């Protein structure tokens, strides 16, 4: 067997939601490097323009769409324009860091709508086409908060926990049609969005959250976007054809670690 072909995505089309930057962009870049044609969406024309420039700079010919993934009709319209979709990555998401007792129901629902209902909507829009073509791959970006709680993220953790179970249910319901649905659970990844938490403060000291994450990560560092490449290509390729309903945590070992014993 040619193991290179096992991981090849040549001839496949991947839709990655929320892939204008950050983790979504990194996953799209990985899939493109394995041969996939890339389509992505975001909600801002400004982000779309910048993302197309960034993809072009990487040598990736990507199709970009402005789409609110919580809107069923908008998603159906986008999917219709893309046509064949072999790989779906549900990456679009938001977080609102608000103590639960201070959080409005409207804020809670907005996070649930974006992080849980939207993956349901987009998956539903592509599954029938996957079935008709003999199979497909769905990858949900689930986060460690599908397993852990933390202060101020009640809505996000609830959504990601629900997304973990949606992943398992899609696998259960459509596995017989050769549709594999799995999740990636990133740890703390060094992206522009997390830069303020990692950069030294004006007095030269580390941000407390930076020290906290490093102390809780057996790898002793933040993850890099490139750390997600292998997991994304594996779950999108033939190599994972008998892997279904699983969450692959790419977290440097955080979920396996109770923490360092005090000196």
Distances (CA, A) of 15 to 90, 105, 153, 206: 8, 31, 28, 38
Query: Angle between the 118-132 and 154-174 helix axes, to the nearest 10 degrees?
Result: 20
Residue at token pair 């791959």: 137
Q: Report the length, in residues, of the chain.
A: 263
Orientation angle between helical segments 22-33 and 229-236, nearest 10 degrees = 60
Token pair 């659970």 in the structure block, residue: 185
Token pair, residue 59, equals 């040598």
Residue found by looking up tokens 């999740």 in the block:
183
The residues, ordered by sequence, that sit 6+ positions from 243 with a Cβ below 8 Å of its Cβ are: 180, 182, 235
Q: What is the DSSP letter of 207?
A: P
Residue bearing tokens 């407390």: 208
Distance CA 181, CA 139 (A): 6
Asked about 257 being catalytic, the answer comes back as no
Q: Which of 55, 156, 174, 249 is catalytic?
A: 156
Give the catalytic positions in this structure: 156
């Amino acid at each position: 067997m040619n193991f290179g072909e096992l991981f090849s995505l040549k001839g496949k089309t991947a839709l990655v939601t929320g892939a204008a930057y950050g983790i979504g962009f990194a996953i799209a870049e990985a899939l493109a490097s394995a041969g996939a044609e890339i389509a992505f969406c975001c909600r801002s024309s400004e982000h779309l323009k910048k993302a197309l420039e960034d993809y072009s700079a990487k040598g990736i010919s990507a199709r970009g769409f402005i789409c609110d993934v919580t809107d069923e009709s908008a998603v159906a319209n986008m999917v219709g324009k893309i046509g064949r979709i072999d790989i779906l990555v549900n990456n679009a998401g938001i977080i609102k860091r608000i103590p639960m007792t201070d959080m409005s129901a409207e804020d809670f629902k907005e996070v649930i709508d974006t992080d849980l209902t939207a993956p349901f909507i987009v998956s539903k829009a592509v599954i029938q086409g996957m079935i008709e073509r003999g199979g497909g791959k769905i990858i949900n970006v689930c986060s460690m908060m599908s397993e852990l709680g933390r202060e101020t993220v009640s809505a996000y953790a609830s959504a990601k926990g629900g997304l973990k179970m949606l992943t398992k249910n899609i696998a259960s319901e459509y596995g017989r049609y050769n549709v594999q649905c799995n999740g990636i659970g990133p740890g703390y990844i060094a992206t522009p969005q997390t830069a303020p938490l990692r950069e030294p403060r004006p007095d030269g000291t580390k941000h407390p959250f930076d020290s906290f994450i490093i102390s809780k990560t057996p790898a002793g560092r933040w993850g890099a976007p490139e750390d997600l490449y292998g997991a994304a290509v594996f779950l999108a390729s033939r190599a994972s054809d008998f892997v279904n309903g699983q969450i692959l945590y790419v977290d440097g070992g955080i979920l396996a670690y109770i923490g360092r014993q005090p000196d």
